[in-house]
Structure 1
Amino acid sequence: MKIAPPFFRHGPGPFAKLILFTCLSCLLIVEDLRVKRFHEIRQIIGTVIFPLQRIAYTPTFIYDEVRNFIVHFNLLEENAKLRQQFLENQEYLLRFHALEAENAKLRELLGAIERIEKSTETKTVLAEILYTPRDPFSHKITLNKGIYHKVQLGQAVIDDKGVIGQITRIYPFSSEVTLLTDKNHSVPVQVLRNSLRSVISGTGKNNELELRYLSINIDIQPGDLLVTSGIGGVYPPGIPVAVVEKIEHNPSDDFSRIVSNPVAGVDRNRQVLILSMVQPLVKIPAEAKN
């Protein structure tokens, strides 16, 4: 039998090594659980290899940071787009609400047109307010209808609630309206409850009109509705003008101060109606010609 050279000799077999290391592992486990002498050694080993662990985890850490940066950048970009879209949607929503309110106002004006043209000999022209003067003491507005649209001086201007004012100046494509509240403007009115006639005047304040030179014992009460009397031919009769708010009596004066609030939106309109009285043609009898 031949003997193998020393450099070809083998150590213990794989199975023997398995049993050896298994037994050694079991002994270490039992010693660690029972005797606990390797705790300090484990702490020292952990301290020594911690920097190596940090170095080993550096590529993973860099990868995570780069990924988080990219995700954060994408979120910022997406957030900016969503914010811009939100602002655009808000703008569309505000426009929609404005158009909805304007549509409702136009429907109310259309109803007012039908009521007025059926009840009186009056034609109406829809006009839009171009601008109001910057002077707070000037109670006037400018409309986008003028001579070209057959607007004339003296025509009444109303909204769906009542009288706003009167055309006092005209241009080819625009016209100026003096509002009820102007201190130099007056309207013939009557009390709807008892048909008492008077004249209401502006005071220079947006929400205040005044009945002047009425005796103390006049039959007017707070809450009475004042409508146009039709006297003078400017305003058709029966259009609401104001509601009596309060009556002030001064003992040293023979007259009462009657304060009223305008019914119409004197300072809250964008579209208004211009009224023109339709005067029917009157046939002159043949006898009168002679």
Structure 2
Amino acid sequence: MEFANTPSFFRHGPSPAARLTVCVLLSLSLLVADSRFGLMERAREAVSVVLYPLQRAANLPVSAVRHLGELFVAQATLKEENDALKNHALEQKAEIDRLRAAQADLAELRKTHALSTSLGGGGQIAEVLYTGRDPFSHKIIVDKGEDAGLARGQPVTDEGGLVGQITRVQPLSAEVTLVTDKHQMVPVMLERTGVRAILYGYGGGVELRYLPMGADIRPGDRLLTSGIDGVYPSGLPVARVERVDRTSSNAFVRAITRPLGGLDHGRFVLVLPVRNVPPPPPPAAPAPETKAGK
């Protein structure tokens, strides 16, 4: 059956069987020629070059989706690795800080042990636990008490100088009143001249009071324990003079000093044994009796 719109090529000419035969023979000839002599190789190369842009255009959506997925995966992986590196860096920093703190404690402990050896080895090394709860008192708490044989009155020092004195002892801890406390007084002497004086705490520092106007004292002088009270051993550094006030309105010289001991820093202190209290002074000689006639 023929249709009106069928091309004239299909309506006239050889029969379909003849056309099929010609096509089959032509195909077989091309196959044999291509397999034997490679006649179609260049044709295929030319066709592949012409069709390559079309292939890339057809594969572009799939390739874009694949690259987009890889980009998201790479960003997620990089974020995870970045977070892991940050956490590792924080852990390393914390470990370094702990190591530095341990090294500082070891250095301070060695200095305190060396101080104990230089003083005869009779002291005990104690660790500062915390400061006193009363903000108006200057006290610290150490980790040794009656169990270690500590007693009231024992002086406490460190590698810098005198820290204070034990004023209360408990079974496992002891309270140390610092030299800056307003109730503390330490007999001292000027290292340069040997002049004796009393160092008073005033709640925030220490100062020398009641020195005569002609006293030879100047800024920079170092104050040492005099040892005349029988509590503190002689020769312990206590403070350094920072300012000397000489005013005509005052009858005495007032010297502001700076403590040398680690009152507000440091972790280890040395508790020294109590010295033997010197015997009391001899009684005063009796007054001569007056004669009755006179």
TM-score, structure 1 length as denominator? 0.76
Q: CA 1:247–1:278 in 2, change beyond 3 Å: closer, same or farther?
A: closer
Moved more, 131-140 or 266-275: 131-140
Q: Does 1:261 align with 2:261?
A: no
Q: Tell me, in whole angstroms, the C-alpha distance in 2 between the residues paired with 1:263 and 1:53.
A: 83
Moved more, 168-177 or 132-141: 132-141
Residue 217 of structure 1: how far off its partner (Å): 1.4
- Which of 54, 62, 70 is the matching residue for 2:73? 70
What do the CA deviations read for 1:165-205 (whole angstroms, capped 9, x no partner)?
Answer: 00011111111010011111110000111110011011211
Aligned-partner SS, 1:62: helix
Residue 254 of structure 1: how far off its partner (Å): 0.8
What does residue 180 of structure 2 align with?
181
TM-score, structure 2 length as denominator? 0.75
Q: Tell me, in whole angstroms, the C-alpha distance in 2 between the residues paired with 1:277 and 1:181.
A: 21
What does residue 99 of structure 1 align with?
102
What does residue 139 of structure 2 align with?
140
- Which of 54, 57, 61 is the matching residue for 2:60? 57
What do the CA deviations read for 1:88-136 (whole angstroms, capped 9, x no partner)?
Answer: 111100000000111110111111111111xxxx710111111112433
Residue 78 of structure 1: how far off its partner (Å): 1.2
8 Å Cα contact 1:166/1:178 also seen in 2: yes
Q: Where does 1:1-290 land on structure 2 (aligned, <5 Å)?
A: 7=19, 8-9=21-22, 56-117=59-120, 123-205=122-204, 208-277=205-274, 279=276
8 Å Cα contact 1:123/1:278 also seen in 2: no
Q: Tell me, in whole angstroms, the C-alpha distance in 2 between the residues paired with 1:216 and 1:171.
A: 44
Residue 144 of structure 1: how far off its partner (Å): 0.9
8 Å Cα contact 1:156/1:166 also seen in 2: yes
8 Å Cα contact 1:123/1:277 also seen in 2: no
Residue 67 of structure 1: how far off its partner (Å): 1.0
Residue 6 of structure 1: how far off its partner (Å): 5.2
Letter in 1 for 2:268: Q
Letter in 1 for 2:90: L
What does residue 41 of structure 1 align with?
none
What does residue 287 of structure 1 align with?
none
Aligned-partner SS, 1:94: helix
Q: CA 1:56–1:226 in 2, change beyond 3 Å: closer, same or farther?
A: same
Q: Tell me, in whole angstroms, the C-alpha distance in 2 between the residues paired with 1:55 and 1:271.
A: 79
Q: Tell me, in whole angstroms, the C-alpha distance in 1 between the residues paired with 2:266 and 2:18.
A: 115
What do the CA deviations read for 1:14-40 (whole angstroms, capped 9, x no partner)?
Answer: 89xx9xx99xx9xxxxxxxxxxxxxxx
5+ residue gaps, structure 1: 26-48, 281-290
Q: Tell me, in whole angstroms, the C-alpha distance in 2 between the residues paired with 1:202 and 1:128.
A: 23
Residue 69 of structure 1: how far off its partner (Å): 1.2
What do the CA deviations read for 1:196-241 (whole angstroms, capped 9, x no partner)?
Answer: 0011011211xx3100011221111111110000011110000100
Letter in 1 for 2:254: R
5+ residue gaps, structure 2: 1-16, 34-38, 47-52, 278-294
What does residue 285 of structure 1 align with?
none
Q: Tell me, in whole angstroms, the C-alpha distance in 2 between the residues paired with 1:264 and 1:94.
A: 25
Residue 250 of structure 1: how far off its partner (Å): 2.0
Residue 262 of structure 1: how far off its partner (Å): 0.7
Aligned length: 241
Q: Tell me, in whole angstroms, the C-alpha distance in 1 between the residues paired with 2:159 and 2:235.
A: 13
Residue 278 of structure 1: how far off its partner (Å): 5.6
Instruction: Give 1 or 2 for the bigger CA radius of gyration.
Output: 2
Residue 265 of structure 1: how far off its partner (Å): 1.1
Q: CA RMSD in A?
A: 2.7
Q: Tell me, in whole angstroms, the C-alpha distance in 2 between the residues paired with 1:78 and 1:155.
A: 58
Moved more, 107-116 or 151-160: 107-116
- Identity percentage over the alignment? 38
